[in-house]
Amino acid sequence: MYNLLKGKRGIIFGALDENSIAWKTAERVHEEGGQFVLTNAPIAMRMGKINELAEKTGAQVIPADATNMDDLQNLVTKAVEILGGKLDFVLHSIGMSVNVRKNIPYTESNYDFYAKGWDVSALSFHKVCQALHKNDAMNEWGSIVALTYIAAQRTFPDYNDMADNKAYLESIARSFGYFYGKDKHVRINTISQSPTPTTAGQGVKGFDGFITYAELMSPLGNATADDCANYVVTLFSDLTRKVTMQNLYHDGGFSNVGVTPEVIAHMSK
C-alpha cells in the first residue's frame, strides 16, 4: 500500500454489506491510512452488517438518514469531534428508487415514490454538501465523491426513474462543486461506475443480462467494486487536487464504445 491517505479523515456513507461499493472503499481507505466515520440509514443498520466493517477498520458508526438535515448536522459535528479535526474526504454511496423496488414502469411512475427516490438518491447529495459547507467541516483541498450511472446520459429503460435521479445528482456535483471550489478549494466529483452486483444494483430488472452486455461492450471488462474503491482512493488523495465538477467514467471503456465483435457474435447466433 502507498499511504495515500495517511493523516486524512472522512465520512463514508452507504456500506450495507460486503458487496457494497462503500464497503470496499472503506477497506481500501483504511489500508491507505485514512480514518473515517461510517454512516448509513438507521433502518440499514438493523439489516446490514456495518458493525463488522467498523470493527475491521477501527471506525465508529453514526446513523443518519441522508434526507434528514438534523441527522446530517449531528453526523458532521460528531465526525469532526471523533476524528479530532476537519474532514478531507466524503463518499456519498446512496441510491434507492421506490418505483424500481415496486416494479412500476417508468411511464406509470407514482409521484410520491418518485419524490422519495429523488430525495434519497439525488437531493441527499446537496444536503450532505450543505451540512459540510455550513459547518465549515472540510479542510482546504478536501474531496467529495458520489456514485452515478451512465443512464444519466443514455437511456437504459429498466433503470427507470433512477436515470433522472442520477442526472440530477451529477448536476449537483457541478453546481456545488463551483461554490465549494471557490470558497474552500474543496473538489466535488461523480464516478460513473459499471454495473456492479450489489443490493442496489441487483434491484434493477434484468440485471444479469445488463451486466453481461456491459462486460461484452467494455474493452477492459466491467469495473468491479474493488476497482471502484481504488479509483475513489485516488480521488481522495492529493494526487488529484485539480479535478473537480467532473463526471468521471469508471467503466472499462463502455461509455465510448458503439459496438464490439463479441456483441455482434451474440446477435448473430
Ligand X SMILES: NC(=O)c1ccc[n+]([C@@H]2O[C@H](COP(=O)([O-])OP(=O)(O)OC[C@H]3O[C@@H](n4cnc5c(N)ncnc54)[C@H](O)[C@@H]3O)[C@@H](O)[C@H]2O)c1
We find the least distance from the C-beta atom of residue 91 to ligand X, in angstroms, to be 9
Q: Does the footprint of ligand X cover residue 252 (CB under 6 A)?
A: no
Q: Does the footprint of ligand X cover residue 195 (CB under 6 A)?
A: yes
Among 4, 120, 132, 214, binds ligand X (CB under 6 A): 120
Q: Tell me how many residues contact ligand X (CB under 6 A).
A: 27
We find the least distance from the C-beta atom of residue 209 to ligand X, in angstroms, to be 13
106 assigned to active site: no
Which of these ranges, 52-60, 196-204, 237-245, 253-261, lies near ligand X under the rule CB under 6 A?
196-204
Among 25, 198, 222, 240, binds ligand X (CB under 6 A): 198
Among 21, 38, 100, 137, binds ligand X (CB under 6 A): 21
Which of these ranges, 1-9, 65-73, 103-111, 135-143, lies near ligand X under the rule CB under 6 A?
65-73
Which of 149, 180, 231, 249 is catalytic? The answer is: 149
70 burial type by CB count under 10 A (0-12 exposed, 13-18 middle, 19+ buried): exposed
Q: Any known ligand binding at 20?
A: yes
Tracing cell 443514455 back to the chain, one arrives at 154
What angle (nearest 5°) sits at the alpha carbon of residue 232, between those of residues 226 and 237? 130
**Is the dihedral angle over the CA atoms 138, 143, 146, 151 positive or is it negative?**
positive
Distance CA 163, CA 153 (A): 8
Distance CA 14, CA 225 (A): 13
Q: Any known ligand binding at 166?
A: yes
Closer residue to ligand X, CB minimum distance, 139 or 232 = 232
With beta carbons less than 8 A apart as the criterion, state whether 137 and 85 touch: no
Q: Any known ligand binding at 95?
A: no
159 assigned to active site: yes
Closer residue to ligand X, CB minimum distance, 14 or 34 = 14
Distance CA 95, CA 117 (A): 8
Closer residue to ligand X, CB minimum distance, 13 or 114 = 13
We find the least distance from the C-beta atom of residue 77 to ligand X, in angstroms, to be 17
Q: Any known ligand binding at 14?
A: yes
With beta carbons less than 8 A apart as the criterion, state whether 71 and 65 touch: yes
Which of these ranges, 36-44, 153-161, 234-242, 257-265, lies near ligand X under the rule CB under 6 A?
36-44
Which residues are tagged catalytic?
149, 159
Residue numbers in the known binding site for NAD(+) are: 14, 20-21, 94, 166
